[in-house]
C-alpha cells in the first residue's frame, strides 16, 4: 500500500524556481520600418549591481539589445510577428521569460495604426498573461519610451500603473480593450502617453486618448477635447475645472470634481437617431479669486451656470472630433442596440455612414456641495 501511494506522489515536477525566471513587468510592441515587429521587455533585475546604472550594450550582428536601468533590464528583439520576436528574445536570455507579473503594455504609435489586432492575439492567447494588464499608446516607439528613466518610481510599470489609478476612475485593461474592439461598432480608446523635457530629463505623462476604429488608431484626443472625453466616458477623477464669470472683470473660480455620472439615451425621431447625453456632477469650490462670499446663493448659482456651460461646450467639441475620426468611442451604436435591438438590426449595416451625422444633445447639471473652510475670500473682512 505504501509503495502504491508513492507512485502518485510525483512532487512538483513542473515547478520553476524564481532564480530561473526573467520576470516581465512591462512589455512594448513596435512596428519597424522594415515591417518587422519589435518586442521590448522590462525585466526585473536579478540582483542589485553597483556602478553606473545607465550602462548599455548592443549587439551589432543580432536583432536584440539590452540596457540596464537600476532595478530593471530593458531587452528588445524583432521578428516577423510578436511571437517570433519573443522567441528571438528568449534565445538571448539565460532565463525563461515569465509573463505572469506583466502589468503594463505599451504600444508604439506606428503599430497602433497597423497590425494591432494581429499582434495582440499573441498576448491574449498566452494563459500566463493576465487580462487586467493596462495598455497604453505612446508617441514614437515603445522601445525609446521604456528606455527612458521614470521619475520617482523604480520601473515604468510602477509609474504608468500609478498614473492610471490617479487619472482614471475605471481602469482600462487588456480585457476591456479586446472586448471593445470586438463589440458591434469595433471602437475603443486607450491612454496616450508622451514625454516632455524637464531639467534635462525625459518625463513621461498622459497626454490624452488614442481613439481606435476597426482595430486601427484613428486619431488623438488631446487638450480640451481630452477633458470633454473624460466627462462623457465617466473617467473624471479628482479633476479641477476653472471657470470664468462674466462679472465683475471676468474673475476665475476653480472647482474640484467630487463625483460625476453620465447617461446616454438614444432617440428615434427620424432615420438618423439623436443621442441625449446627460452629465451630472457634484463639485467643490477650491479657489475663489472674486470678492464674493460663498454664502451668497446668487454667486454660487452663477458659478454653477458657468461650469455647466464650459463642460457642455467641451463635450460637444469632443463628440464632433470623434465623429470626424469616424470612431464611435462613446458607444453610441452600443447604446442604440441596448435600447432598441430591432432598430439597431435595421441600421447596423449603415452605421458607419450614419454615425458622423448623429446629432448629440448634451445636458449638464452641476451642484456645488462644498465651499471650503472660509466663506469670506482672503483679504476681505
Taking alpha carbons only, the member of 186, 160, 159, 183 closest to residue 172 is: 160
Q: What is the mean pLDDT of residues 151-156?
A: 68
Q: Grid coordinates in use for 328?
A: 464611435
**C-alpha–C-alpha distance, residues 366 and 342, integer Å:** 35
- In this predicted model, what pLDDT tens digit does every residue of 170-227 receive, in sequence order? 788 998 888 887 776 667 889 999 877 665 666 778 889 999 988 889 999 999 999 9
d(CA 68, CA 55): 6
pLDDT at 31 over 50: yes
- For the stretch 104-128, pLDDT in tens is 999 999 999 988 889 999 999 988 8
How is residue 64 written as a grid cell? Answer: 536584440
Structural contact between residues 113 and 190, judged by C-beta atoms closer than 8 angstroms:
no
pLDDT at 197 (0 to 100):
60
pLDDT tens figures, 46-66:
664 444 433 333 333 334 555
Q: What are phi and psi of 194, to 5 degrees?
A: -140, 175
**Placement of cell 521587455 in the chain:** 41
H-type helices in 222-274, by residue range? 224-232
pLDDT tens string 213-253? 888 899 999 999 999 999 999 988 889 999 998 766 668 99
Predicted confidence at residue 60, as pLDDT, reads 32
Residue 112 to residue 210: CA distance in whole angstroms: 9
- Contacts of residues 249-256 at CB distance under 8 Å and 24 or more positions apart, as own/partner, are 251/289, 251/290, 252/287, 252/289, 253/285, 253/287, 253/288, 253/289, 253/290, 253/303, 253/306, 254/285, 254/286, 254/287, 255/283, 255/284, 255/285, 255/286, 255/303, 255/307, 255/368, 256/283, 256/284, 256/286
According to DSSP, the β-strands at 201-213 and 216-222 are antiparallel
Closest CA to 258 of 242, 240, 273: 240
- Output the average pLDDT for the chain: 84
For 50, other C-beta atoms within 10 Å of its C-beta total 5
| Geometric angle at alpha carbon 289, from 232 and 250, rounded to 5° | 75
Amino acid at each position: 500500500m505504501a509503495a502504491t501511494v508513492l507512485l502518485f506522489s510525483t512532487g512538483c515536477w513542473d515547478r520553476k524556481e524564481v532564480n530561473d525566471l526573467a520576470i516581465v513587468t512591462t512589455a512594448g510592441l513596435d512596428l519597424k520600418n522594415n515591417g518587422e515587429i519589435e518586442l521590448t521587455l522590462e525585466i526585473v533585475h536579478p540582483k542589485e549591481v553597483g556602478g553606473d546604472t545607465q550602462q548599455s550594450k548592443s549587439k551589432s550582428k543580432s536583432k536584440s539589445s539590452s540596457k540596464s536601468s537600476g532595478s530593471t533590464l530593458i531587452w528588445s528583439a524583432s521578428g516577423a510577428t510578436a511571437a517570433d520576436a519573443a522567441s528571438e528574445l528568449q534565445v538571448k536570455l539565460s532565463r525563461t521569460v515569465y509573463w505572469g507579473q506583466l502589468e503594463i503594455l505599451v504600444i508604439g504609435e506606428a503599430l497602433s495604426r497597423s497590425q494591432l489586432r494581429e499582434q495582440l492575439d499573441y498576448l491574449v492567447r498566452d494563459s500566463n498573461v493576465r487580462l487586467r494588464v493596462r495598455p497604453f499608446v505612446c508617441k514614437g516607439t515603445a522601445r525609446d519610451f521604456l528606455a527612458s528613466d521614470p521619475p520617482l518610481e523604480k520601473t515604468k510599470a510602477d509609474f504608468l500603473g500609478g498614473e492610471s489609478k490617479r487619472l482614471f476612475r475605471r481602469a482600462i485593461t487588456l480585457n476591456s480593450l479586446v472586448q471593445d474592439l470586438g463589440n458591434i461598432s469595433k471602437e475603443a480608446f486607450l491612454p496616450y502617453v508622451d514625454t516632455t523635457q524637464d531639467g534635462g530629463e525625459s518625463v513621461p505623462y498622459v497626454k490624452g486618448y488614442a481613439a481606435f476604429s476597426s482595430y486601427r488608431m484613428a486619431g488623438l484626443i488631446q487638450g480640451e477635447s481630452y477633458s470633454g472625453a473624460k466627462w462623457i466616458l465617466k473617467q473624471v477623477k479628482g479633476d479641477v475645472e476653472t471657470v470664468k464669470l462674466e462679472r465683475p472683470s471676468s474673475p476665475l473660480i476653480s472647482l474640484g470634481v467630487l463625483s460625476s455620472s453620465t447617461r446616454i439615451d438614444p432617440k428615434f425621431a427620424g432615420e438618423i437617431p439623436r443621442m441625449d447625453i446627460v452629465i451630472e456632477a457634484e463639485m467643490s469650490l477650491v479657489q475663489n479669486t472674486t470678492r464674493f462670499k460663498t454664502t451668497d446663493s446668487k454667486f454660487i448659482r452663477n458659478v454653477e451656470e458657468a461650469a455647466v456651460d464650459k463642460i457642455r461646450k467641451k463635450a460637444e467639441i469632443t463628440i464632433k472630433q470623434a465623429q470626424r475620426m469616424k470612431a464611435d468611442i462613446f458607444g453610441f451604436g452600443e447604446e442604440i442596440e441596448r435600447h432598441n435591438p430591432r432598430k439597431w438590426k435595421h441600421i447596423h449595416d449603415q452605421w458607419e455612414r450614419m454615425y458622423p451625422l448623429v446629432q448629440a444633445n448634451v445636458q449638464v447639471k452641476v451642484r456645488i456641495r462644498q465651499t471650503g473652510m472660509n466663506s469670506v475670500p482672503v483679504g476681505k473682512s
